[in-house]
Structure 1
Amino acid sequence: MTARRSRSVLATAAYGTFLVLVAYTVPMTTLTPTAVGLHAGPTAQTWVLTGTLVGLSALLLAAGSLADDRGRKRVFTAGAVLLVLSSAVAAAAPTVAVFLAARVVQGAASAALLAPSLGLIGEAYPGGPARVRALGVWGAAVGLGIAVGPVYAALAEQWLGWRAVYWGLAALAALLVVVAVAGLDESRAATPRRIDLPGVLTLGNGTAALIAGLAEGRYGWGRPIVLVLLAVGILLLVAFAFVEAHTAEPILDLRLFRDPGFVAATGGALFTGLAIVGLMSCLPSALQRALGLSSLAASGVLAIWSGLSVAAALQARRLADRIGGIAQLAIGLLICGVGEVALLGLRPDDSWLRLVPGLAVAGVGSGILNAALGRLAVTSVPAHRAAMGSGANNTARYLGSSLGVAVTVTLMGLGGPATARAAADGTNHAVLAATALCALGAAGALVARAAQRRGRARAAAEAEPQPAVELLR
């Protein structure tokens, strides 16, 4: 593949990833006008954001496996087409039920875009510094989507109404279809495998039930519907593990969990969702309640964090020659934790400027972290299963995000009316929990790094030729 063609693949994959994050984040600043326009109650409002997570988490791993076996360009392009259609349906939705269904389908489309993206990049950049730079660009696209999505949505809603947000997203996705057809080359594994239908069904339904239970739990964790959904989700995920252990061609080879690099990549993605995505997804709403900011101002404050994550991800390649991917992951989580500590102590009479240092530090940490996750997702699995590795990594990230959002909403008290003082106190509690999770995730990464180093030392010792005297014994 020529250098020019490789750059085209990278730009297309990064643009698709950017759109996924834009689609995920647009409800952060348009939830109220969307709810008013569709006459949505509190439960329906919860599902405006959660619906996309259901589609994403349920299908990421399946989409990655399908992309490796049936064609990464094919799955990516299908995802772009589906994003056009689902965004158009969301824009024209006559009822809240139709809108929520469109949001779930947007999540499925996002899975079909996100899972093959790292596989496409891995194929275009087989290794070396060029791959590290390319994965840094992918990490920057994640941060850029989070930065642009809420601001774009707030501006479009103010000027043209909430439906224009989704018509604009449909137009951007239509451009992606054109770019994908022209800018991507087809790639797949040399020996395609059969579709693991039992694995797809148990994982998809299990994650969907679990996320649905977490979403419903915001309005009372003891309700029967919540307990049933959580129980079904856990049982189906246990069934998924059993199925994968006894299937000749699983969508997720459980033997990968013997590799500390894969464990670090998956665990790091999970804690990224828990400790960072969960908190930052709810921060704009918290700032509107606690400080009285407008939706546009709150999204602008969040852009300090996400914007700096873009810059840091692009520069993270400079770390690749000095430290390994797992160490970079631990450093990113620790820096995020330090930034979140600086957010503690929020009061209703504070200026948003007080949050800038903490958001800036956390943004740098997030950029380093996103680049590390992309790097590990590709390098911790066999080259021909890169899209599956991306799917597994992002499944963990968005499962963690679902749990992180549920915990954050509960701690912040966003499920019902609250005073500015209560909102500020709840935000402090959520920040404290996120900080502890960052530290726990970093500790887990360091344990995995130690295990990896021991494994390499043991392998090197076994590979050394034995002295002749030993061979004669």
Structure 2
Amino acid sequence: MTDASRSAPRSAGGTLAVAAAGTALVLVAFTAPLATLPATAAAVHAGPGGQAWILSGMSVGCAAGLLGAGALGDDHGRRRTLLAGVLLLAAASLLGAAAPDALVLIVARILQGLGGAAILACSLGLIGHVYPDGPQRARATGIWGAALGAGVAAGPFLALGLQAVGGWRVLYVATALAALLLCVAGRVWLPASPPARRRPVDVAGTVLLGLGLAVVLAGLVQGRTGWTGPLTLGLFTAGLLLVAGFVVVEHRRADAMFDLTLLGRRDFTAALVAALAAGAGVLSLASFTPIIVERGLGGSALAGVAAMLAWSGLSALTPLAAGRLSRWITPRGQLVAGLLGCAAGQLALMGLHPHSPVARLLPGLLLAGAANGVLNAALGRQAVSSVPADRTAMGSGANNTARYLGSAIGLALVTVLISHGTTPPAVLAGWNHAVLATAACSLAGALIVLFTRDRATTVPGPARRRLEPAAQAS
């Protein structure tokens, strides 16, 4: 029985509600350990390396699964794939709640990432399916972008509150229960999105890319404890070889999961570059705000989370108004403006010293948060508007893969710069260097997007196909 035979048509509003709620839930699960890491690490006996994996395991799972989940959704049903991801998130969260040691918890975090990948890719793909390009889609992707910020804002606060009630494991139980409720809502409200043509599953491409990205990200995580160690170098080498194998396979396959000819499109490439720059820039820097407040400025854990809320809160609010910008500014212009605003906010976070008040962070965080919200809305729209209409989940998966890969690179960079010292002055000196490095990523992304130009598609062989995108959005 197909998705279509089981599902009656549902309202676009119901689809948007489930898509936004699922996106927010994934980001809650992603950011919550930032607030409960000390208690979690003590309970599962995790050292510095284990703690890095607890924080980054979900990124590894997401990056490994996003593009494959998007392609699977486009080819075999976005509703079905999203609901499978929700159930995997629920099961992985229960495993995390029962984890007896660090290894099991890390496995649970990676599995949470794989489930979250299906949700993120197919939620935006479903929005692209039910909303036509134009003001309606701009508004819907703005709400989806707001859900990203809302999840980031709510995660640490929920984690602290639930930890106070019953310990850090309660958050994982609550995540599982929320996922099960979301699954019920999805079965009721999500429409079927039957593929225009059912492609065979690209097993080789899915495995090569998923493993390749997972191994590269594993190298970035492992590198935080030493960049020249044989394990770190081996992971990078193996990951790059797997990704190279993926390119070769996709180049030769007629029904590839990722159409290489899309890289010849300005709007698609610009969106990938912007997502990568956002991850390596503002996302990685803002994620360290609670740590800097505690270790550099001597504030409490609650003060650190509250400071981060200044960034994530505005990231949740500005996308709601960003849809109106599409009347006056092109999507590419919004990407450039968002990245420049993020860079300006990041640079405003420089110059901290041990006697700086926590409030000193607020102007920069507020500016970066507002710009990041505009950027999220534009990225959500471009992810589905820059690909053919039957590949919207794949487009979402590719865009979010770039975001998570950039975030992993940025987090590794910021960690190295900050961890050079243990005293507050040394930590803050590392922070100031990290601000410059991540702001450079945002500025570089803005310049590349600004000067990206269409080029002729010259990919030979079976990968060549005529592209008929849903809209010429740039």
TM-score scaled by length of structure 1 = 0.93
Matched, 1:221 2:227: yes
**Given the alignment, which residue of 433, 436, 439 partners 2:437?**
433
Matched, 1:289 2:295: yes
Distance (whole Å) between structure 1 residues aligned to residue 99 and residue 419 of structure 2: 30
Q: Tell me, what secondary structure is at the counterpart of 2:218?
A: helix
Matched, 1:403 2:409: yes
Unpaired segments of 5 or more residues in structure 1?
A: 456-473
Task: State how 1:60-459 maps to structure 2 within 5 Å.
Answer: 60-413=66-419, 418-448=422-452, 451-452=453-454
Distance (whole Å) between structure 2 residues aligned to residue 316 and residue 43 of structure 1: 40
Q: Over aligned residue pairs, what C-alpha RMSD do you find?
A: 1.7
Please say which of residues 18-27 and 417-426 is displaced more in the overlay.
417-426
Cα offset, 1:453, TM superposition: 11
Cα offset, 1:193, TM superposition: 0.6
For residue 108 of structure 2, what is the amino acid of its counterpart?
Answer: A
For residue 427 of structure 1, what is the amino acid of its counterpart?
Answer: W
TM-score scaled by length of structure 2 = 0.93
Residue by residue, what CA displacement relative to the aligned partner does 1:238-279 show, whole Å, maximum 9, x if unpaired? Answer: 111111111111111000000000100111111111001111
Q: Tell me, what secondary structure is at the counterpart of 2:195?
A: coil
Q: Is the 8 A contact 1:67 1:188 kept in 2?
A: no
Cα offset, 1:283, TM superposition: 2.1
Q: Tell me, what secondary structure is at the counterpart of 1:127?
A: coil
Q: Tell me, what secondary structure is at the counterpart of 2:327?
A: coil
Distance (whole Å) between structure 2 residues aligned to residue 327 and residue 136 of structure 1: 16
Cα offset, 1:123, TM superposition: 1.2
Cα offset, 1:319, TM superposition: 0.7
Distance (whole Å) between structure 1 residues aligned to residue 130 and residue 14 of structure 2: 9
Cα offset, 1:188, TM superposition: 2.8
Cα offset, 1:128, TM superposition: 2.1
Cα offset, 1:343, TM superposition: 0.5
Q: Which residue of 1 aligns with 2:51?
A: 45
Distance (whole Å) between structure 2 residues aligned to residue 156 and residue 251 of structure 1: 40
Q: Which residue of 2 aligns with 1:459?
A: none
Cα offset, 1:4, TM superposition: 7.5
Q: Tell me, what secondary structure is at the counterpart of 1:132?
A: helix
Q: 1:324 to 1:2 in 2, by over 3 A?
A: farther
Distance (whole Å) between structure 2 residues aligned to residue 321 and residue 453 of structure 1: 27
Q: 1:454 to 1:343 in 2, by over 3 A?
A: farther
Displaced runs of 4 or more, over 2 A: 1-4, 452-455
For residue 428 of structure 1, what is the amino acid of its counterpart?
Answer: N
Higher normalized helix content (fraction of residues):
1
Q: 1:440 to 1:88 in 2, by over 3 A?
A: same
Aligned residues: 451
For residue 243 of structure 2, what is the amino acid of its counterpart?
Answer: L
Matched, 1:31 2:17: no
Task: State how 1:17-28 maps to structure 2 within 5 Å.
Answer: 17-28=23-34
For residue 391 of structure 1, what is the amino acid of its counterpart?
Answer: G
For residue 337 of structure 1, what is the amino acid of its counterpart?
Answer: A
Cα offset, 1:285, TM superposition: 1.3
Residue by residue, what CA displacement relative to the aligned partner does 1:202-244 show, whole Å, maximum 9, x if unpaired? Answer: 1011101100100011111110000000111111111111111
Unpaired segments of 5 or more residues in structure 2?
A: 1-6, 458-474
Distance (whole Å) between structure 2 residues aligned to residue 367 and residue 73 of structure 1: 26
Q: Tell me, what secondary structure is at the counterpart of 2:13?
A: helix
For residue 112 of structure 2, what is the amino acid of its counterpart?
Answer: Q
Larger radius of gyration: 1
Distance (whole Å) between structure 2 residues aligned to residue 101 and residue 436 of structure 1: 34
Residue by residue, what CA displacement relative to the aligned partner does 1:121-164 show, whole Å, maximum 9, x if unpaired? Answer: 01111222111100000000001111111111122112321111
Identity percentage of aligned residues: 47
Q: Is the 8 A contact 2:10 2:189 kept in 1?
A: no
